[in-house]
Amino acid sequence: MTDIHLDQARKTIPPPITQLTLDELKAFPLPRAVESLPTPYLEELTNHHDLLQGYIKQLEAYHAKQQEIIGHLSSLDDILENTIYKQLIKDYEGVIEKINQQIKSINIIYQEFINLETYQYQLLSSNYNQDNLRAKFKKLIEENNQESVEIVKSFGNDKGAYGSETSDESLNDMIEQFKDSRKLYHFRKEKLNRWEEERVSGFL
């Protein structure tokens, strides 16, 4: 709606007023009463600013241009009053009100986000505090230790299933798996000991 009003204002704005030229003013030839004056009086007329100004103002072309300017100003005043003030400003006031409502909605959403974020941190704090993390890490170490035992048991079960013969390759694989598992176990165990002695802040 605002764009339509602006287009309407552009259509109704009168064209710029052109400057009145000397030819359009038609100041010459001088009236006979002036031309018949003695030379000293003519010189005084041409040198006297107020007299020249009075002469120009009584010319018909000057009066016509003056009326054109008055009409132009009247049209502009009408545009300011009816188009810009009564229409555009009201439209912008409506837009401002919508913007204010949207800002209020954004503030409400933002506050909800802050509340949810706070709640999330509270959940994280309760689930991932030092005691809970330490207990989970101990459980992980126990599982790691059990994994080492299972590697040996699995190898023994496979050996019993296929008799006493085992290949060097399978034995070497079992040993490597066991070594890797125990290395990880001792590494984590040392981390836990340091953590409990408060030599480190955690297991990471």
User: Which pLDDT tens digit goes with each residue over 47-77?
Assistant: 767 766 777 777 777 777 788 788 778 877 7
- Asked if the model's pLDDT at residue 32 lies above 50, the reply is yes
| Statement to judge: residues 81 and 27 lie in one domain | yes
Sign (positive or negative) of CA dihedral 145, 146, 151, 157:
positive
Residue 144 belongs to some domain of the structure: yes
In this prediction, residue 172 has a pLDDT band, given cuts at 50, 70 and 90, of: confident
Do 135 and 193 belong together in one domain? yes
Predicted local confidence at residue 203, as pLDDT: 47
- When pLDDT is cut at 50, 70 and 90, the band that residue 2 belongs to is very low
pLDDT tens track for 118-161: 888 777 766 667 777 888 889 999 999 899 888 888 877 766 55
38 CB-near residues (< 8 Å, 6+ apart): none
Last residue of a domain, one of 32, 52, 85: 85
- Among the candidates 70, 85, 100, a domain finishes at 85
189 shares a domain with 136: yes
Q: What are phi and psi of 86, to 5 degrees?
A: -75, -30
Q: Is residue 109 part of a domain?
A: no
Sequence length of the chain is: 204
Residue 2 belongs to some domain of the structure: no
Helix (H, G, I), strand (E, B) or coil at 67: helix
Measured between alpha carbons, how far is residue 82 from residues 2, 7, 77, 91, 94 in Å? 14, 14, 9, 13, 17
- Give me the DSSP letters along 104-145: HHHHHHHHHHHHHHHHHHHHHHHHSSHHHHHHHHHHHHHHHH
Note down the domain range covering 153.
Answer: 130-157+167-197
Total domains in the fold of the chain: 2
Token pair in block for residue 114: 């802050």
Does a structural domain hold residue 141? yes
Residue 135 lies in a domain: yes
Question: Are the beta carbons of 54 and 13 closer than 8 angstroms?
Answer: no
The per-residue b/e assignment along 129-168, b for 16 or more CB within 10 angstroms, e otherwise, is eeeeeeeebbeebeebbebbeebeeebeeeeeeeeeeeee
Which residue is it, tokens 């309407």?
A: 8
pTM, two decimals, is 0.36
